[in-house]
Chains A and B, each alone.
Chain A
Amino acid sequence: MTHWLRVRRAWVMVETIALLAVLMVAGGDHTVAVPTVIGGGTGAIVWSTFVPLGWAAVVAYAFEHHGTDAEARPARRLWAFDVALVAVMSGLAAGVFAVTGSVETLAQVAAHVLLVSGLTAGVTVCRGSGTGILVTTVLVLLTFSYGVSAPGADYVRVLQPDGDVVWSLAVGVAVFVAGLATIWWRRESPPVRAEA
């Protein structure tokens, strides 16, 4: 268990949550109006918009290594621990960011954290940490760049405070569940059992 926690860099995740929380408090509600690339107009980016990307980076970093001897023992069912780790840490991150942030509501923060956590973790266990964080980074860039007044902006800007909250939360939960399911499925896949 100790080895698994070390491999999964659980303490790094906790430390990152604390660091990002401090940065959120320091950044406050500082807002920057940036020109949007797709659809024209101007979009507002608050400091907290960047926090999910930082969180996604540490999720990818945590799942960078897999397939160690400790993880290969089916009796330990470490894939279930992985699912629990992502779920608990994402919940902790959403709660802490919502408390320390001053712009977004709990529902908005939860939507953003769940979305990036699920996407990054799911892609990382399938294609590696590089691909996992690249996909999330591209998603963040595209949603940043999508114009506020462009068609369907409320439903595309799922990582921005001005997106539709219910839609963002629905997408976040769906992607998060899919990400957890991917972890679950990958850990039960035949190659892992054969290795054990």
Chain B
Amino acid sequence: MSPARAIVWTGAAWFCPIVFAVGVYVGVGEVAPRSGYAVGDLAAASYQLSLVGPLVAAYTAFRFSGFERFVRSLVPVRLGTVVVLRAWWPVVLGAPMSSVLALVLAAGAVPRDAVSWQIVGLVFATVLACACLGLGLARALPVALAVPAAAAIAYWWLVFPGAGDGVLLRNLNAGFVVCCTSATVPSPAMLGGSAVVAVVVTLGVMGLWLFPAWPSVGRPAAAAALVVVCAAAFVGGSVLVESSSTGPTFQAIERRTTAKACSDRSDVAVCVWPENASRVGTVARQVVAVNTRFERAGFDRITAVEEDPGPRSIGTVEFSVHRWMSTADVKYSVVAGYTRAHLACRTGDVDAEPSPLEVTAAGLVGGVPRAELTRRFGADTVAEASRAVGSIAAARTWYERELVADGSCGGDR
């Protein structure tokens, strides 16, 4: 079959654009706003698999039904797998490719590091496996049963584990349910286990067509063979996940260990993730501006800020500087981190969260725009905070009463 004819005959000419459109629509809905962290954005946009996977499985089960008759007549002279792929490559490869293009477009991120490429590869392999699942079910069941079965199985594989509490299954379905903040990456066990399931299903279904008798076997035998392939896929994935160094974890994420970009210009040490390196100067300027106002009010000055500084520790000013954040957002994030650090010092609890009033008061002293604070906490809170820190003397008193510890954590932060 000529390539042009295959593209039209299989319906890839109209189905792949639909897959692309669905993928972009779903992906864009999940990645808003984009963080600039490629792994996180790609993982969020991969949520499209929940809809694209079942759609592709259902469509291939529908369109492929009855194709074994063509293969049967050609098997004496050609391998069944070759016959299938020569006719079906537009859907089998086109759907995953459309999905990956939608993924990259929706995420607005070009994969650069190994983890990003692994996510892209896993999305490709998962859609490919769904297509092959549809091809296999179309051989094993009448079309009226194959189509809903393909959609349901794909749905159960890709969606249900993320909604349940089965730890192992959550590591086998290419699901990035809680992945990833800027401080995390997908766990290698989940990436590997999911890849094994997808690859074994794909190779297993394609491998079945290598047997000359495969186009002629009865549907019960075909169904049994498909069950064996799927079972082998899940057993293989499970073995890999269980034997990994970390084993399966509920969230299927790990701490990110990428080296940060650091600068200590302007007497302020700033450490950010590499994707935010271009904003180090902006951060330093905002911290200096905050320090100027803090020192005037008698507050301790900030000497170091860091994005996601690891397990929270007393005395660390933690902040964020994603691509979409304005300078007011950055300044607010620095002040919030400063308040949190003081509270941790005061209470001895690294997870203590400051109240809106405390953050607002510190923000007013540090120069966070009043509109920004009003947007976050409301006019009443801002008004109350204004009364508490209305003058330099009042701010100093408020600082010593609300934020400063009893000397145990003194010093600059």
Could you tell me which A residues sit within 8 Å of B by CB distance?
32-35, 37-40, 50, 53-54, 56-58, 60-61, 64, 129-134, 136-138, 140-141, 144-145
Contacts and interface: CB of A to CB of B under 8 A. Distances in A.
B29 A141 contact: no
A38 B54 CA distance: 15
B160 to A, nearest CB: 6
A138 B150 CA distance: 12
Interface in B171-212: 177
Contacts of A57: 144-145, 147-149
A145 B50 contact: yes
If over half of A's interface residues share one DSSP class (helix, strand or loop), that class is named, otherwise mixed; here it is helix
B144 A141 contact: no
B155 interface: yes
Contacts of A137: 58, 147-148, 151
Contact of B145 (A32, A33, A35, A61): A61
A64 to B, nearest CB: 6
Given A38-B26, A38-B29, A40-B29, A141 B58 contact: yes
Interface residues of B, number: 31
A131 B61 CA distance: 11
A32 B51 CA distance: 17
Contacts of A39: 29
Interface of B: 25-26, 29-30, 47-48, 50-51, 54-55, 58-59, 62-63, 65, 142-145, 147-149, 151-152, 155, 159-160, 162-164, 177
B314 to A, nearest CB: 36
Contacts of B55: 138, 141
B29 A130 contact: no
Contacts of A140: 148, 151
Closest 5 CB pairs of A and B: A60-B144, A61-B144, A130-B143, A34-B163, A134-B62
Contacts of B48: 37
B163 A141 contact: no
A145 B51 contact: yes
Given A53-B152, A133-B62, 13 more contacts: A32-B164, A35-B50, A35-B159, A35-B177, A37-B47, A38-B29, A61-B145, A129-B142, A130-B62, A130-B63, A130-B65, A132-B144, A137-B148
